[in-house]
Structure 1
Amino acid sequence: MPLALGAFIVPLIVACAMFMENVDSTVIVTSLPVIARDFGTDPIVLKLAVTSYVIGLGVFIPICGWVADRFGSRTVFRTAIGVFVAGSLMCAASTSLATLVAARFVQGVGGALMVPVGRIIIFRSMPKSEFIRAVNYLTVPALLGPVVGPPIGGFITTYLHWRLIFFVNVPIGILGIWLTNRHIQNLREPHPGRLDGFGFALSASGAALMMLGLSLIGSDLVSGAATFTMCALGAALLFAYWFYASRVEAPVLDLRLLRIPSFHASVVGGSLFRIGLGAVPFLLPLALQEGLGMTAFQSGSITCASAFGAIFMKAIASPVLARFGFRAVLMFNAALAGCAIAVYGLFFPGTPHWLIWCVVLVGGIFPSLQFTSLNSLAYADIPMRDISRATGVSSVIQQLSLGLGVTIAGIVLQISHVLQGHKAIVWSDFWPAFLVVGLFSCASIPVTSRLPHGSGDELARGKRGNA
């Protein structure tokens, strides 16, 4: 393959896979209230369809690098696309909440291998002179997915049928597999080393049980005793992993990296922030449809406004960081983001749609700046030899915190609904949930305030030229 063609086609293939995942994650949240009515279940319980995907994604990310080295990046990448598409078809064929949750978990497993292995392919197959161009290609799906996903999902759900939203992935996936076979080399490491199977079993089963147990609170799928048992067992397994990982040389998730102040602030503080922001894609469409009576298409046309705010902020994030520094931005911006989330709870029937759109647009600005800051700061003081391990720790905790945000929002919404005594969900049930998840975003401030003054300043100044 000519170098010029490879510099274009390989990043494009990976970008298409990322676009498929980004669109899928945004179209389904717009359709959840309609899916709930078809299944005859409470819309709040449909949070399981979101968290099950995050569980599949989070628990399998730690082994994606080893699997790619062992079986070859092309083999794993195309298999991951196939698994993701198969999960999409299973979602379309689902006839109950349980089958939809299982299908979403399958999608999560595919996504866990697809996107990280795609990044590995980029950095192993591209010359260093083409890295910046390749990374620019990869940012496009992250920006466009939240823009086109909600309106597409809303349109299909309102005017066609919600099952059709899952068929959007099929042609993209088939094309991706075909292009992968033609243009991506099957690179692998001859000796990838030993996989920490015991550590993976502890961390994966503990996280899965803990997240699933929390997600089942308030549902009728299992008894309260079973839910408590799952949470307790999951917590015990995670504690056992923490004890185990501190005593082995190369654990699957090296939690000792959290001793680095900048990495600790990015991962721990960032996770508290992501709990708040992870709830919004689930909570806001539900509030607009169930609380304000909008159609799925109207809801999707409004929720995509936050993506425009995010795109605007990405254009000016580097100068902002260079001017004020990471510590000040992370602290003050977290407060602004938390307030923006809480304001969503003030929407009431009769609020003009254009006003809601503008509020959501502004609300997308602060999370974008926070994510840019957190993701940049994460590697400020990480030695080159530890970047791979740091990426695994950061990615898993990020994904699980996003899922935890959905779970917490659902629990608070259920409590609010019961306490207010409404037969069906109404607009006034939502403000406590938006307030609580907004406070989680603000809870990251004490963590980031411990950063030494000047942390990441060299990185921020270096980013000025890339603005």
Structure 2
Amino acid sequence: MIDERITLAKKQDTKLASFSWQTRLIPMIVAVPMFLQAVDTSILGTALQSIAASLNVEILHLNFAVTAYMLSLALFLPASGWLTDRFGTRRVFCSAVAIFSLASALCGAATSITQIVLFRILQGLGGAMMVPVGRLILLRSIPPAQLVMAMLWFTVPGTVGRVLGPLLGGFIVTLTSWRWIFLLNVPFGLLGILLSLRFVPDSRSEKTERFDRTGFVLMAIGLSGIVCGLETIGHNFVPLSFTILATSIGIVAAIAYWIYSRDRSDVIIPLNLFGYKAFSITNIGGMPLRIAVGSAPIFVPLLLQIGVGFTPIQSGLTSAWLSVGAFGIRPIMRRAISKFGVKPLMIAASVFSGAAFATYGLFSPDMSIYFMCAVLFMGGIVNSLGMITMNTVGFSGIPTAIMSKATALSTMMQQTSMSFGVALCTSCLTITARAHGHSAEHLTMSDFPITFFIVGALSCLSVAAFIRLPADEGAELR
């Protein structure tokens, strides 16, 4: 009897050690391309001027390179769930990283703006599959009790990439050629593929449904039209009529898809997923919080450079404290969930993220840099707290058979939230600048506070959704 207990204890210890190993290694592997995607998205803005001079084109025309990637991402996202069920998580994930890396190499070798736009579209195809499939790998391979720590390792690199992108871009364009912004993705992509083939488990659906062509077309047009409108609003490289037309087409297609997919489970993205309370609350109700979290890495560096007067490198070093704060939550995350539960943490994250974002609007040239770094550090903590809890508890109760479609829909909602956040901040800055008697191309310190106050207040609206969560929601994570 004693021998049997010893043997059982050894088996349990081995199983727990395996979970601990998986909790760290697998998220780090699937997060490698997430980091690259985040860096690639945020770094390009720093290098636009250098690329424009090299290719002898107007800098505003290069905005098409940014928008082309976002449109491609929106266009192919709906198909990621079906492809994963059909070909398996590991194969699709490695293929996505390979496509993204190849497109990065082609962008680095491009000799015209047309080539960059085309290759950025190819990048978007790879990027559209990396995030939802990476999250699906975690949900299928990590036990619920270990999922919080796994999601933490998965979420943080993206936050770090978005914050460090402008700083890294400043160093690259200063010390070497802008082409290295794209070429650096290649070795990291190859490393991610090799590690995935060796360590990431493969899974696929036992029964694959037919590919819903009608639903794919409607969803792709709807999502890409809305994202196109959000990405081009407030910019001068396309007329306002185009933005309105693209957004209108997107909304009409989205409504058509809703009518087409009602009460159907065999469509490419079943909207009855919103019938799961936790999924609905974290993805719809959590949109205001995601808007603030997604806008911070973009508009905080802009505030520090234009408003406070920092150089790009100084701005990058200061805003990097958002990433330091995101890392700072790691040691206490599990204990916080065990002590307080998921619901109170999500409510607190919404309130304090909004307060932190509003406080950024108070930054000024006369303010202590240590105070600014401390506020950004705390902002990084509460941002990470909110994102990790939402990304983890949001899939609670969803059957394994439709998990791939749930991750695709969740990624689509997050991408739309980020695009809306950027559009909202851009519009607020434009309106404020005109109210102050000058154009948005000549922003001043006085143009920023109202934008940060509005978005900060908006973040707190998520409290109304989070308060509807059951008190024991996410109990399996504790």
State the TM-score, normalized to the length of structure 1: 0.82
Q: Give the Cα–Cα distance (whole angstroms) in 2 for the partners of residues 305 and 33 of structure 1.
A: 26
**Aligned equivalent of 2:286:** 270
1:157, distance to aligned residue in structure 2 (A)? 3.4
CA contact (8 A) 1:84 1:111 kept: yes
**Aligned equivalent of 1:373:** 389
1:199, distance to aligned residue in structure 2 (A)? 0.9
Q: Give the Cα–Cα distance (whole angstroms) in 1 for the partners of residues 464 and 138 of structure 2.
A: 37
**Aligned equivalent of 1:407:** 423
Distance 1:102 1:290, change over 3 A: farther
Q: Give the Cα–Cα distance (whole angstroms) in 1 for the partners of residues 35 and 74 of structure 2.
A: 19
CA contact (8 A) 1:150 1:304 kept: no
1:283, distance to aligned residue in structure 2 (A)? 0.9
**Aligned equivalent of 1:346:** 362
Q: Give the Cα–Cα distance (whole angstroms) in 1 for the partners of residues 452 and 335 of structure 2.
A: 31
Give matches, 1:32-111, under 5 Å: 40-41=58-59, 52-71=68-87, 75-89=91-105, 91-92=107-108, 103-111=119-127
Deviations 1:214-247, CA, capped at 9 Å, x for gaps: 3222333333222212111111111111111114
Asked if residue 456 in structure 1 is aligned to residue 473 in structure 2, the reply is yes
Asked if residue 230 in structure 1 is aligned to residue 246 in structure 2, the reply is yes
- For residue 404 of structure 2, the aligned residue among 380, 388, 393 is 388
1:29, distance to aligned residue in structure 2 (A)? 5.1
Distance 1:162 1:415, change over 3 A: farther
CA contact (8 A) 1:158 1:297 kept: no
Give matches, 1:143-292, under 5 Å: 145=161, 149-177=165-193, 192-292=208-308
| Structure 1 stretch displaced more, 363-372 or 308-317 | 308-317
Give matches, 1:326-337, under 5 Å: 326-337=342-353
Q: Give the Cα–Cα distance (whole angstroms) in 2 for the partners of residues 157 and 222 of structure 1.
A: 27
CA contact (8 A) 1:30 1:285 kept: no
Distance 1:187 1:318, change over 3 A: closer
Deviations 1:55-85, CA, capped at 9 Å, x for gaps: 4334423322322444565654443223212
Which secondary structure does the structure 1 equivalent of 2:286 belong to? helix
| Structure 1 stretch displaced more, 291-300 or 65-74 | 65-74
**Root-mean-square deviation (CA), in Å?**
3.7
Distance 1:302 1:219, change over 3 A: same
Q: Give the Cα–Cα distance (whole angstroms) in 2 for the partners of residues 203 and 249 of structure 1.
A: 15
Asked if residue 430 in structure 1 is aligned to residue 445 in structure 2, the reply is no
1:310, distance to aligned residue in structure 2 (A)? 1.3
| Structure 1 stretch displaced more, 387-396 or 70-79 | 70-79
Task: Mark the runs of 5 or more structure 1 residues left unpaired by the alignment.
Answer: none
Residue type matched to 1:437 in 2? V
CA contact (8 A) 2:63 2:237 kept: no
Q: Give the Cα–Cα distance (whole angstroms) in 2 for the partners of residues 388 and 420 of structure 1.
A: 48
Distance 1:218 1:256, change over 3 A: same
Task: Mark the runs of 5 or more structure 2 residues left unpaired by the alignment.
Answer: 1-17
Distance 1:207 1:121, change over 3 A: closer
| Structure 1 stretch displaced more, 229-238 or 369-378 | 369-378
CA contact (8 A) 1:29 1:282 kept: no
1:299, distance to aligned residue in structure 2 (A)? 1.5
Residue type matched to 1:235 in 2? I
- Count of paired positions: 453
Residue type matched to 2:473 in 1? G
Q: Give the Cα–Cα distance (whole angstroms) in 1 for the partners of residues 110 and 193 of structure 2.
A: 25
Q: Give the Cα–Cα distance (whole angstroms) in 1 for the partners of residues 114 and 467 of structure 2.
A: 43
**Aligned equivalent of 1:442:** 460
Residue type matched to 1:233 in 2? I
Q: Give the Cα–Cα distance (whole angstroms) in 1 for the partners of residues 419 and 278 of structure 2.
A: 24
CA contact (8 A) 1:150 1:301 kept: no
Distance 1:167 1:47, change over 3 A: same
CA contact (8 A) 2:151 2:388 kept: no
1:377, distance to aligned residue in structure 2 (A)? 2.1
Q: Give the Cα–Cα distance (whole angstroms) in 2 for the partners of residues 457 and 138 of structure 1.
A: 19
| Structure 1 stretch displaced more, 137-146 or 52-61 | 137-146
Distance 1:127 1:254, change over 3 A: closer
Q: Give the Cα–Cα distance (whole angstroms) in 1 for the partners of residues 447 and 112 of structure 2.
A: 26
CA contact (8 A) 2:306 2:443 kept: yes
CA contact (8 A) 2:132 2:407 kept: no
Which secondary structure does the structure 1 equivalent of 2:329 belong to? helix
CA contact (8 A) 1:272 1:440 kept: yes
**Aligned equivalent of 1:321:** 337
1:100, distance to aligned residue in structure 2 (A)? 5.6
1:86, distance to aligned residue in structure 2 (A)? 3.6
1:48, distance to aligned residue in structure 2 (A)? 6.8
1:311, distance to aligned residue in structure 2 (A)? 1.5
1:322, distance to aligned residue in structure 2 (A)? 3.2
**Aligned equivalent of 1:362:** 378
Which secondary structure does the structure 2 equivalent of 1:193 belong to? coil
1:211, distance to aligned residue in structure 2 (A)? 1.6
User: Quick one: percent identity of the two aligned structures?
Assistant: 36
Distance 1:185 1:445, change over 3 A: closer
CA contact (8 A) 1:31 1:296 kept: no
1:94, distance to aligned residue in structure 2 (A)? 6.6
Q: Give the Cα–Cα distance (whole angstroms) in 1 for the partners of residues 429 and 53 of structure 2.
A: 18
Deviations 1:191-229, CA, capped at 9 Å, x for gaps: 522111211111111111112123222333333222212
Deviations 1:372-412, CA, capped at 9 Å, x for gaps: 22123212333444433322222211121112111211121
Q: Give the Cα–Cα distance (whole angstroms) in 2 for the partners of residues 457 and 408 of structure 1.
A: 32
CA contact (8 A) 2:136 2:407 kept: no
Residue type matched to 1:291 in 2? G
Distance 1:273 1:294, change over 3 A: same
Residue type matched to 1:346 in 2? L
Q: Give the Cα–Cα distance (whole angstroms) in 1 for the partners of residues 280 and 82 of structure 2.
A: 25
Residue type matched to 1:304 in 2? A
| Structure 1 stretch displaced more, 209-218 or 20-29 | 20-29
Q: Give the Cα–Cα distance (whole angstroms) in 1 for the partners of residues 329 and 142 of structure 2.
A: 30
Residue type matched to 1:446 in 2? A
Deviations 1:129-159, CA, capped at 9 Å, x for gaps: 9x98987875674576457545423322344
